[in-house]
Structure formats: C-alpha cells, structure tokens
Amino acid sequence: MNPYTLSRPVCIIGLGLIGGSLLRDLAGRNHPVFGYNHSTSGARRAAKQGYDVADDLTTVLTRAEAEQALIVIAVPFGAVASVLDQIAQHAPTTGITDVVSVKSHVYELIKQRDMQHRYVGGHPMAGTAQSGWDNSQQGLFAGAAWAVTYDYATEVDKVGPEWTALFSDVVRLTAMVKAEAMPVRVDGHDEAVARVSHLPHVLAESLAVVGDRGGILAQSLAAGSFKDATRVAGTRAELVRQMCETNAPAVVKALDEILVLLHAARDSLAAPEPSIAELASAGYSARTRLEARSGARAESVSPVKISSRPVLRLSPGGHGWVSQLRQAESMGGRIEVF
Amino acid sequence: MNPYTLSRPVCIIGLGLIGGSLLRDLAGRNHPVFGYNHSTSGARRAAKQGYDVADDLTTVLTRAEAEQALIVIAVPFGAVASVLDQIAQHAPTTGITDVVSVKSHVYELIKQRDMQHRYVGGHPMAGTAQSGWDNSQQGLFAGAAWAVTYDYATEVDKVGPEWTALFSDVVRLTAMVKAEAMPVRVDGHDEAVARVSHLPHVLAESLAVVGDRGGILAQSLAAGSFKDATRVAGTRAELVRQMCETNAPAVVKALDEILVLLHAARDSLAAPEPSIAELASAGYSARTRLEARSGARAESVSPVKISSRPVLRLSPGGHGWVSQLRQAESMGGRIEVF
C-alpha cells in the first residue's frame, strides 16, 4: 500500500484552525473527507466553498460509522468528553484520533470510556495566533512535527491488528499533509509541550503586560525582539487557558524552573557589580544547540526542505516495533510506516 | 534646506551590525561618509568593497575634525569612554552622536568630559541576532524607531545654535536611512528599553535553557512559538551582557514586575482548580492594544508602509520647541525638523 495514503475516509469533528486546515489539505489531495462544525454559520461557509460539511453531529457520526471513517476530534478540550459520548453512541466501531494539545486528559477520557483499543492520540505542532475556520489554510502542517501517541501498545501484551492498522493510518494522515509523525507517550508529550509551547505562551502574556505598562513611549520604541516575543499573546485567551490549565502540573514545573533562572538573573543584576554572564552564556549555548538540531536546516536557503529529524521506517505490529517507537521517541525522531 | 540631508559628512566609529549598516545606507545615498573599524581585517574587507574605511583611529578622527563631520560612536559600551577621550584629543570641536542601547551611562561619560554641548544621543531600535560588519546591510533601519535624546535642551536656559544644528542633523541622519526619530530623555529611554528590549532578551535566554533541558524530544517538538520566543537568545552573550548590565537598575525593575505576574500565574495554575484566566486575558488585551498602536499598520497588506507613530514637525531652536519635544515623547511620536 502507498505509505502516504490512508485506507479509509476521514471525518473531522470541529473545523477551527486545525480541523479546518486538515480538511482543506485532505480535500486538496482528493482524499475522501467530511466534517462537522458546531457553528451553523461556519459550517455553511465551509459548505459554500464546496467542502463536505454539516452542522448535525449525529448525522455526521452515523455516516462515519457507515463508512468506517477515521474520526479526528478537533474540538477544544472542554468539548471532547461530550464528543466521545456521541461517538460511543453513533459511531461505536470507528478508529479515533484527536489534535488536542494536552494528551493526558484526553487519554483519561478515552480510558473512562474503554476506548483505548480504537484510539491513537495526535497533536500537530502547528498553528498561528489566529483561530476559526476562516483562518484555516492549506499547507499549515508542512514540515511540522505531529505527535502520535502509542501508550496503548505499551499497556497491553500484544495489540491487535485493528489498532496497528489505526496507528498506521494516523501516521499516513500526518504524511498526507506533509507533517512529520513523532511517536511519543502521553506523559512525555505533555511535559515537553509545557516547556516549548505552554511556557512560551505564559511568558508572552506576561511580557505583553509589562510592555503595555511602559505606556505609549515603550510601545512605540518596541522593535522585533518584543514583537516576536509577544506574538503568541495574540492567541485568544480561552485557547491559552485550555492549553495551560489542562496541562497545569507540567506547566507549573516548567514555570518553577524558569523562575529559578529569572530570580538568579535578577539578583546578579541587582548586585553591586551587575552581571548576567551566566544566563547569557547558558542561553546562547542552548539556542545554538537548538538551531543546530532543528532550526538550521529548516532555514536553509535550499528550496528543497530537508527535515532535521532522524527518520525511522517501521512496520506497525512487526517484530520489536514498540521498541522502535521508544527509540524514535528518545531521539526526537519521526517515523514512516510500511 | 532639504529636511532629509545633513549639512555635514558623517564619520562612523565602529563598523559592526549597526555602524556598518549605517555606513552602507549613507554611502548608498551618496552622502559623504567614512569610518573606522577596530578590526584590521574588518576594515580591509569594507575598504575592498569600496567603502572609505580605515583602521587608524587618530587619522580618522583628525579627518573628522578637519571636515567637521558628525561623529557617530557605534562601538560597544565598554569602548565608549576611550573613544570619547580620543575624540577630545583629535576631534575637539565636532558634533557627536552614538547608537549605544543604554543612554544614561553614555551621558554620564559625556558629562564627565563636559561634552554635553556637542552631543545628541541616539539609539536605533533595529538589529538582528547577528553582529559584525559582515552581517551589516542596507535598509536595516527602514521604519525603525530611532531614539534621539534631548536632555541638554532641558538642562540649560537656552541652547546655542550649534547644539540645535547638531540636533537637527542627527534627526536628518535618521531620516536619511528611513528611520523615525523619536525624541526621548535618557532616563525615559532606558526605562522603556528595559521593558521592551532587555527584558525580552532575559526571557529568551531563560526559555532557551528550559527548552534545552527538555532534551531532544522537546526540541524536536518545538514549533513557531518557541522559536520566535528564543530567537534573540542567538545574540552573542557579550552584547546581551552589555545591554542588560549597563541598564541593570531598569532591567531589575522590569524583572521584578514580570516576576510578580509569573508567580501569580504559577500559583493559580497550582491551585486545586488550575486557572490562568487573569493573565491570559490581560496579556491578550495588552497585545491587542500594542497591535492597534504599532503593529497593525506595519503588517498592512498595502505596499506603501505607513507609520503608526504620530508625527510632529518642528523647528529646532524655535519658540517652544523643547515643549514640543516633550509632547512628542509623551505620545511616543516621531519628529521631523525644518
């Protein structure tokens, strides 16, 4: 089978920035895809643009069951439980994935409903400060990491062929939209995104407030460093709350780490001989390592985009494949399935 | 006189990112400009590219005196005192400006040498994470704010015509490179840049360290929000030290403000009902205000770049002009001189 083609249609529940962009990408590649949007007007606008979209959840889920579509849950976390309940009722045997940015709480909801055997979690590391269907766009996921969880394969003695087929299809889904599937377990994912996604949001919000307090002079003087650093503060407050509050323990841990660094910097700058030597040097080294690992190639002048993530090709369900997933996870690698 | 043309040649001491870019811009507009670079190899490369550059400071300053050039000090803060001493000796009557990012310490050095009557401070809010002549470029200052200090005019009963002519020429210099001259006093400037430039650097360094500690998985998952937020951590550690350490009191104050916000966020996220509602909403409002004031127009789709800074046209030395400067400063405005 073509490693870049799913074996089933895709049904997207929730057509905001992520769900909408996914729908556009799949439709653009002529893969069978249909979706549901909570907002009647949003659903109508999408339908008017020629997409197969409706605003009645029962109908959409019933169709997903009939077509054995892969259901992608792309609603805010607060709505996930109720969508899962609807799926249990109207699409009791389909495969399920999601794009929610915190994975442990979703997995709890899945376990409460005993759906682990039909669920593979996902999280595309892509987005803009904008949200909603009208901001969704083709190509949003190109080159982005797309976390794919595999906890279930580590929790049971041997996963069945249905789950491995589902896992494969979720990986193929990410490949179809040119994202890079990174296998992770739920806890490792949540700890990592607290550091590299949720903490940056908290800092951006705080910096925006401090800059704003400087009044119009400070804002008028603000240049690239400030604008870049506060960009994600333009994200709707509800979305930031959802990310940070559902991942609170990991975000608190990351905050505690950065608070230690900031207090140390503050104290050494307040000393009779002000110094920020230690932090400036550590930060520069950290950033340089980061660029060497991920940034440099992506910013290459070459028109051919080369991924800096190591790739591991594996056959889901094959001998030792779960060890291969762990290995890929430990080196921040991406996978392809065959 | 054409408001965009200086009445004298320009002599740039130090050809790093800022000094080099200024030299390229002025030479590109055929304005007489020459410079000095500490590094012999850097000076040679610039000269090879056709620029009027030498590596002997005495010769360059003697020429500046003979031609009554406007001297632009573009060396790191640590070298400013010695450059001023050389200027006192070899160019005792020229006008002086500078591009150092913290203004109070430079002004102290100026006062220690009783040079206030021949000095107008400057600070272009432009830069990249790169440094040095080889990274300098034409057009770096287009649309950027360029702080121009006027403390001297508030310290004496009436400034003489030489100082007002110098002030005018510094404003014209900024206009020639398409920057926007913003009148500020030294203390207000340093407090403002602590918030919108130095604090972002401290945060970026700290975030880079916390992200790096997340290991290769976290870095591989890092997307736009993390990369944007840590971009300026790529600035050479010495430059960050210079900025933050010479402006330590204002940076400590800004750090204290953000520490209060971060501790509050941490505590409310660690509560039994985790919440980040307050910060998320305050940050979003602050960012939205900021965009309305400065970002929105700059990001306009219109090919004609319209400044969002209010403009005040004034005649230096004219009746009430110092009040006009204060007024422009209080509203984060830019000035043009006639």
Q: Which residue is associated with the tokens 């002004």?
A: B107
**Band of pLDDT at residue B305, cut at 50, 70 and 90:** low
pLDDT of residue A1 exceeding 60: no
Mutate to test the interface with A, among B246, B267, B287 (most CBs of A within 10 A): B287
Q: Which helix (H) or strand (E) holds B275?
A: none
Q: Would the CB atoms of B237 and A280 count as touching at under 8 Å?
A: yes
Predicted local confidence at residue B308, as pLDDT = 79
Report the 10 Å Cβ neighbour count for B249. 14
pLDDT digits (tens, 9 = 90+) for A163-172: 999 999 999 9
Minimum CA–CA partner of A221 in chain B: B145
User: Of residues A215 and B70, which shows the higher confidence score?
Assistant: B70
**Band of pLDDT at residue A305, cut at 50, 70 and 90:** low
- Write the residue in A195, A207, A209 that is nearest to B218 by C-beta: A195
Alpha helices, H only, chain A: 17-28, 40-48, 57-67, 80-90, 103-112, 151-155, 161-176, 186-193, 199-213, 215-221, 224-230, 237-246, 248-270, 277-290, 296-298, 321-330
Minimum CA–CA partner of B308 in chain A: A220
Domains assigned to chain B = 10-184+307-337 (3.40.50.720), 190-275 (1.10.3660.10)
Q: How far is the C-alpha of B214 from the C-alpha of B220, rounded, in Å?
A: 10
Mean pLDDT for A179-191 is 96
> How far apart are the CA of A136 and the nearest CA of chain B, in angstroms?
17
Q: Would the CB atoms of A193 and B241 count as touching at under 8 Å?
A: no
Q: Would the CB atoms of A245 and B309 count as touching at under 8 Å?
A: no
Predicted local confidence at residue A235, as pLDDT = 86
The 10 Å CB-count burial string (b at 16+, else e) for B42-60 is: bbebbeeeebbbbbebeeb
- Write the residue in B223, B244, B286 that is nearest to A211 by C-beta: B286
Structure tokens at B13: 């001491």
Mean pLDDT for B67-74 is 98
Mean pLDDT for B253-273 is 97
The mean pLDDT of chain B is 92
- ipTM of the complex, rounded to two decimals: 0.86
pLDDT digits (tens, 9 = 90+) for A50-88: 999 999 999 999 999 999 999 999 999 999 999 999 999
- Write the residue in A210, A214, A283 that is nearest to B233 by C-beta: A283
Q: How far is the C-alpha of A306 from the C-alpha of A291, rounded, in Å?
A: 14
Q: How many CB pairs under 8 A join A and B?
A: 373
Mean pLDDT for A109-118 is 98
Predicted local confidence at residue A304, as pLDDT = 47
The mean pLDDT of chain A is 92
**Band of pLDDT at residue B131, cut at 50, 70 and 90:** confident
List chain B residues with CB under 8 Å of A286.
205, 208-209, 211-212, 230, 233
List chain A residues with CB under 8 Å of B218.
191-193, 195-196, 332
Q: How far is the C-alpha of A18 from the C-alpha of B161, rounded, in Å?
A: 62
Written as one string, the DSSP assignment of A5-35 is S-SS-EEEE--SHHHHHHHHHHHHTT--EEE
Query: What proportion of chain B, given as a percentage, has pLDDT over 90?
Result: 80
> How far apart are the CA of A116 and the nearest CA of chain B, in angstroms?
24
Structure tokens at B3: 């408001």
Report the 10 Å Cβ neighbour count for A108. 12
pLDDT digits (tens, 9 = 90+) for B132-154: 899 999 999 999 999 999 999 99
Q: How far is the C-alpha of A146 from the C-alpha of B142, rounded, in Å?
A: 38
Q: Which residue is associated with the tokens 């249990």?
A: A88
Predicted local confidence at residue B181, as pLDDT = 97
**Band of pLDDT at residue B3, cut at 50, 70 and 90:** low
Mutate to test the interface with A, among B123, B221, B266, B309 (most CBs of A within 10 A): B221
